[in-house]
Amino acid sequence: MTITIGEKMVAEISHLDEKGSGQAVIWRKNELGNPKKLKLTIPQTLPGEKVRVTVDQPERRRRKAQPEEVLEVHSERTTAPCPHFERCGGCVWQHWQYEGQLKHKTTHVKDVITAQGFDPNLVLDTIGMDEPWHYRNKMEFTFAPDGSLGLHEQGNFRKVIPLETCFIAGKEMVEAAMEVAAWVKNQQLTGYNKDTHEGLLRHLMVRQSFATGEIMLGIFATEAPSGQLEKAADDLVRRIAEKFPQVKSLMWLENTQWADRTQSENSYLLAGRDFIYDEMSGYRFRLWFDTFFQTNPTQAQKLVDLAIEMGAPKKTEKMIDLFCGVGTFSLPFANRVGKLAGIEIVETSIESAKRNAMDNGIFNTSFLAKDARKGIDQVLEDFGSPELLLLDPPRSGAGGKVMRRIGRSKPERIVYVSCNPDTFATDIKELQPFGYTLKVVQPVDLFPHTVHVECVALLVLNQ
């Protein structure tokens, strides 16, 4: 069959890709009459479903198409509650019953460790949430050139979908964000245009401690809040103070760089303090606008509890916390070991970790701002070999050099906390030649309705 532009066709979803979209293959004939494969990416579909789509430029080998009608429906398909779901890029799986999402994540973790030669039976069922909505304590919204506030369109970072609600952010956070959006319209302020690099407002960061209730609002703009903008900023301070007394930090953050990131060259405190307090595991943390902190506090607490259970820390032991951040794992472990050293390349995070330890009366810690591999060398020289090592690397993983350095340092037990099962699997493969055995992998769902899944794993040195 020769396919023409705009022709409707039926596609059967074989599997989901790494971004959570359905994949399908349709065979067609080329100009010589030979079979030619067309690979389709179809979002908001589930494996086994048959959907009707329209393909543009079908002469290409790969295309993306939107599902126009689901002809054969997956048993776990459900109605997405968010009115923005079909266009907004914040979620990809609101159309999938939550239990189905969890099963898929478990299977994915099993698949990636099996590919590295590990036993898939070591992977436990993914721990989900009792209430998988409004779970995020931090969101970064984007301003469109006309000043509208929202999130990027699925697969299109040039377009912003204006939002009236958000089903993954905390409810009070959404209300505060909508107040900022109303202020922008009232003041007739412009958003930043990524193509022309013109306009004022770039992003709105909202973070809230679910433990203390404190909220931080950070407005990223291309100019300082001076001149005419000073009056607009004063109006925002008044509006927020009247409606949101829980906002304890209101920041204006100047960013003139072209890179589309929530970074700041100069910061201006409009109201309150430049940080908010949060709590986890019974410890208090100070969070600045650029502080990394787990964005799902309910599930993050489970990560900490699992890490402690697997690591089985003892008061007679020394411990290294690699990629320690602001001390999320360091503080609860420090009260259970004799001595703890934290290593993190981001200097501001290390300063925060030191301050957080002091605020909580913890004095058996030392924190080093250094690259992971060089940091391990320095800590081992000053500290000696630890009995316990925990690492919580970024999505890119720790890497072979770091993992081999860990292996050579011979800790008795290694607890690996991962936000990327693929890099986790390749990382732990590096430990096998050093005599380590993988004991258990526990997936934890920190990001319902997305493809992401975290893991906590234990590896033990063979005696």
Q: Is the dihedral of CA 59, 89, 263, 186 positive or negative?
A: positive
- Choosing from 82, 88, 419, 455, the catalytic residue is 419
CA distance 48 to 8: 19
Q: Is the dihedral of CA 7, 8, 12, 13 positive or negative?
A: positive
**156-167 exposure pattern, b = at least 16 Cβ within 10 A, e = fewer:** eeeebbbbeebb
Is 88 catalytic? The answer is no
Contact 125, 441 (CB under 8 A): no
Name the residue among 304, 308, 269 with its Cα closest to residue 289.
269
Structure tokens at 200: 């004022």
Q: Exposed (0-12), middle (13-18) or buried (19+): which is 249, by Cβ within 10 Å?
A: buried
Catalytic residues: 419
